[in-house]
Amino acid sequence: VPDSTLHWFDMGPEPSFVAIRFFTEPDGWVGHFTGTDIAQKFPRYEKDPAP
């Protein structure tokens, strides 16, 4: 995700992933929460039901 781009992600009900993040400053990993409700306007990730 480009610098200064507002973003979010839904890890789903059973998160299992690896993320690699690169920063040029030590404090770059700190999240800055906006308090916006935009994520509520999109469908949530739900685990597929068993066949």
29, burial (CB in 10 Å: exposed 0-12, middle 13-18, buried 19+) = exposed
- Domain edges within the chain: 1-51
* Terminal-to-terminal C-alpha distance of the chain: 34
DSSP state at residue 49: P
Give the predicted TM-score (pTM) of the model: 0.42
Distance CA 22, CA 29 (A): 9
Q: What is the pLDDT of residues 10-49, one digit of tens each?
A: 777 788 888 888 878 877 777 777 888 888 888 887 776 6
